[in-house]
Amino acid sequence: MIETLSKAGLKSEYCYAAGFASIVASYGSWFASRKKTGDSKAQSDRWGIFVGHWAPSFFALGNALQIAEKN
């Protein structure tokens, strides 16, 4: 799978950038939810947590692609 992604043009730098972007998006979503009131606040908190879980996947994929790029 990693070789296929690498051949398709996906680079490790893109995955690392997506990982950092998901951290920023998670924080932004959480920060915005602090200003809400009612039920929508809890939903915004959950959305921030959901987006925050993407970061480790992107970083792991970036590491795997970096190893494939060296070979």
Q: Tens digit of pLDDT for each residue in 12-52? A: 999 999 999 999 999 988 888 777 776 677 777 788 888 88
Are the beta carbons of 15 and 67 closer than 8 angstroms? Answer: no
Per-residue tokens: 61: 């994929």
**Cβ neighbourhood burial of 56 (10 Å; 0-12, 13-18, 19+):** exposed
Predicted structure pTM score: 0.80
Judge whether residue 67 has pLDDT over 80.
Answer: yes
Q: Any alpha helices (H) in 1-71, and if so which ranges?
A: 2-7, 12-33, 39-52, 54-70
